[in-house]
């Protein structure tokens, strides 16, 4: 049975911003199950099919995207029909474990895929983890898996699909912006305990962190230099997450109590922050039909018991969508929000 999760309003919402939040003060959290399937076709990207079609445990429950899931899975399925050499059969008695899905980025890996691994942590030694081959070169993938201690990993070669006789699928959460509070707390403590037990990972940059995207290809704060002057006065450390390994990031945010960032995967690291932390997120003002207002980090902060603040910002180009636009942050409003957040 689905749970209804209540969410508090951000602590600094202006009257004009109420429509962005007031209609969304609760959401449904669907239960997740672990199932073992026989004779499953597995795409390189993590979609799974059997005789009944696309297996629901392998994809989100976003109806408007379902045709996209089907189309991508079909591409791999029909590729194998035309090129049988692109199918690898794993028909031995071993049980394989599937936790990845097509959305390869830090947020989706850490708050969806890792949670699927967590659901079977006590049974992992009896299974072989499946991963696309390029995951082996990703620090945040391998770094986040290290504390689990997986003994066996099968790397799927690029462009190949699998036919797996015995496949374990921990269900991906139905909706992206939904969180199981108990599981969040458990995974959070799992990583923090690992850092505590491994004293060599002791990176500390203070309690106040601002995440810069200067090194990113898109979605930057255009007037960040102006913000940095203010941040310095409030004793914030400006960092680029890509300068640190995954485990170093866990250590950095384990010491942090205040976090400011533009909307993006960097905010995922609030998962590791101190109790009663405070978050300030920059959002893009809606300026075209491609825009939407993400609730992902508002809901995440609420699930972690953190105070959440927000600031809506203008884009440098009104035609850019939410995922690509550069932001212009109102400096006076920013300092007002920062002062409120740090009081």
pLDDT per residue as tens digits for the range 217-228: 788 999 999 999
pLDDT of residue 45: 96
Q: Are 283 and 315 in contact (CB under 8 A)?
A: no
Question: CA 163 to CA 49: how far, in whole Å?
Answer: 10
- Give this prediction's pTM: 0.95
What is the mean pLDDT of the segment spanning 112-141? 97
Phi, psi of 35 (to 5 degrees): -130, 150
**Three-state SS sequence of the chain:** CCEEEECCCCCCCCHHHHHHHHHHCEEEECCCCEEEEEEEEECCCCCEEECCEECHHHCCCCHHHHHHHHHHHHHHHHHHHHCHHHEEEECCCCEEEECCCCCCCHHHHHHHHHHHHHHCCCCHHHEEEEEEHHHHHCHHHHHHHHHHCCCCEEEECCCCEEEEEEEEEECCCCCCCCCCHHHHHHHHHHHHHHHHHCCCCCCCCCCEEEECCCCCCCCCECCHHHHHHHHHHCCCEEECHHHCCHHHHHHHHHCCCEEEEECCHHHHHHHHCCCCCEEEEEEECCCCCCCCCCCHHHHHHHHCCCEEEEEEEEECCCCCCCCCCCEECCHHHHHHHHHHHHC
Q: What is the pLDDT of residue 198?
A: 81
Q: What is the pLDDT of residues 257-296, one digit of tens each?
A: 999 999 999 999 999 999 999 999 999 999 888 788 899 9
Of 46-55, 75-84, 195-204, which gets the smallest average pLDDT? 195-204
Please state the rounded mean pLDDT for residues 2-9. Answer: 96
Mean pLDDT of the chain: 95
Which residues are CB-contacts of 229 (< 8 A; sequence separation ≥ 6)? none
| Residue 5: per-residue pLDDT | 97
Pairing of strands 34-42, 161-170: antiparallel
> What tokens does 273 get?
């922050």
Q: Could you report the per-residue pLDDT of 191-213, keeping only the tens digit for each?
A: 999 998 886 676 889 999 999 99
Q: How high is the pLDDT of residue 200? A: 64
Chain-centroid distance of CA 9 in Å reads 22
* Count of positions (residues) in the chain: 343
Q: Which two tokens stand for residue 38?
A: 């026989």
Residue 215's pLDDT is 82
Kindly list the domain boundaries of the chain, sorted by start residue.
3-28+182-342, 32-174
């Amino acid at each position: 049975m689905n749970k209804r999760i209540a969410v508090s309003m951000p602590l600094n919402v202006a009257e004009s911003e109420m429509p962005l939040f007031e209609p969304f003060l609760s959401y449904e959290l669907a239960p997740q199950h672990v199932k073992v399937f026989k004779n499953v076709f597995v795409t390189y990207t993590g979609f799974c099919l059997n005789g009944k079609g696309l297996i629901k445990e392998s994809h989100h429950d976003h109806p408007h995207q379902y045709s996209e899931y089907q189309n991508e899975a079909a591409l791999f399925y029909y590729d194998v029909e035309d090129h049988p050499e692109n199918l690898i059969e794993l028909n031995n008695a071993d049980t394989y474990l599937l936790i990845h899905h097509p959305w390869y980025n830090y947020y989706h890996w850490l708050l969806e895929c890792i949670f699927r691994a967590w659901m079977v942590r006590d049974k992992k030694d009896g299974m072989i983890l499946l991963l696309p081959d390029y995951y082996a070169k990703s620090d945040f993938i391998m770094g986040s898996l290290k504390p689990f201690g997986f003994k066996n990993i099968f790397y799927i070669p690029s462009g190949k699909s699998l036919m797996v006789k015995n496949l374990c699928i921990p269900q991906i959460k139905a909706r992206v912006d939904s969180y199981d509070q108990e599981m969040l707390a458990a995974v959070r403590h799992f990583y923090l305990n690992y850092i505590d037990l491994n004293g060599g990972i002791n990176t500390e940059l203070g309690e106040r962190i601002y995440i810069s995207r200067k090194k990113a290809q898109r979605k930057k704060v255009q007037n960040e230099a102006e913000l940095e002057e203010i941040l310095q006065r409030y004793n914030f450390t400006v960092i680029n997450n890509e300068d640190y390994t995954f485990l170093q990031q866990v250590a950095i945010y384990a010491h942090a109590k205040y976090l400011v960032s533009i909307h993006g995967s960097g905010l995922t690291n609030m998962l590791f922050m101190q109790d009663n932390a405070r978050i300030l997120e920059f959002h893009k003002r809606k300026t075209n039909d491609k825009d939407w207002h993400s609730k992902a980090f508002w809901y995440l902060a609420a699930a972690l018991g953190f105070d959440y603040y927000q600031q809506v910002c203008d884009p440098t180009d009104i035609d850019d969508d939410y995922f690509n636009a550069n932001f212009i942050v109102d400096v006076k409003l920013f300092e007002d929000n920062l002062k409120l957040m740090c009081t």
